[in-house]
């Protein structure tokens, strides 16, 4: 079946511009996560959505970052006024939620801020 789909796969933007990254999770997965991986670093948690509950935004690095999940499915991560330190691979993952279940990741969006 289809896995987690992310678009675009690559995005180059100028410093100060806004960007939107999209994630289409696996059908039936109630939990959705955004992580990012900067060069040479591990995966850094950003935000978590579970069903209709309020999202856990504790990992968002600044108020320039926001995310929404419409209809419990597709999610959009928005970065406003991008900075060079925002350059990273942004990874979306989904899982069945509830009792421990593995996260299934998309291939990520490589964001480069020039």
* Whole-angstrom distance, CA of residue 53 vs CA of residue 55: 6
Residue whose CB is less far from other proteins, 46 or 79 = 46
Residues in the chain: 114
Site for other proteins in 87-106 (CB under 8 A): 91, 93, 95, 97, 99-106
- In angstroms, the Cα distances linking 83 to 49, 91, 114 are 25, 18, 8
Question: Which residue number, 44 or 80, has a Cβ lying nearer to other proteins?
Answer: 44
25 binds other proteins (CB under 8 A): no
Residues 31-90 touching other proteins, rule: CB under 8 A, are 31, 33, 35, 40-45, 48, 50, 56, 59
């Amino acid at each position: 079946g289809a896995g987690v789909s992310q678009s675009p796969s690559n995005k180059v933007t100028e410093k100060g511009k806004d960007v939107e990254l999209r994630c289409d999770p696996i059908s039936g997965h109630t939990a959705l996560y955004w992580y990012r991986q900067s060069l040479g670093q591990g995966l850094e948690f950003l935000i978590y959505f579970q069903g209709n509950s309020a999202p856990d935004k504790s990992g968002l690095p600044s108020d320039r970052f926001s995310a929404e999940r419409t209809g419990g499915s597709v999610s959009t991560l928005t970065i406003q006024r991008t900075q060079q330190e925002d350059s990273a691979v942004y990874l979306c993952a989904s899982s069945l939620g509830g009792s421990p279940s593995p996260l299934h990741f998309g291939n990520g969006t490589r964001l480069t801020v020039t």
